Amino acid sequence: MNRATLTLLALLLICSLSLVAAQQRARKLFVAQERAQIEERKLNQDFLRLEYEQRNLSKSARIRDVARNQLRMSPISPERTLYLKEAK
């Protein structure tokens, strides 16, 4: 075997090893991406849930109830409202 053959053999070996390593890395990254996607979906769902809860807490029925019963407020009416006109 001459030197050229040996060099080529070594190169082949390095290439094969790096291919295996690259594949391994690709899989790892893919798994990480999958995990991130699941996390993204979960966060999305959490957002929707929080948005729903916020809506539930801020809906007219609840505000009216709290304002009337807990804060003892009465509805606004035009006779107690001041309407300010912009000066021309």
Residues 6+ apart with CB under 8 A from 73: 67
Cβ proximity to another protein: between 34 and 39 the closer is 34
Cβ proximity to another protein: between 70 and 75 the closer is 75
In contact, 82 and 88? CB cutoff 8 Å = no
Residues that bind another protein (CB under 8 A): 26-27, 30-31, 34, 41, 45, 48-49, 51-52, 55-56, 58-61, 64, 74-84
Q: How far is it, in rounded angstroms, from Cα 47 to Cα 39?
A: 12
Cβ proximity to another protein: between 70 and 77 the closer is 77
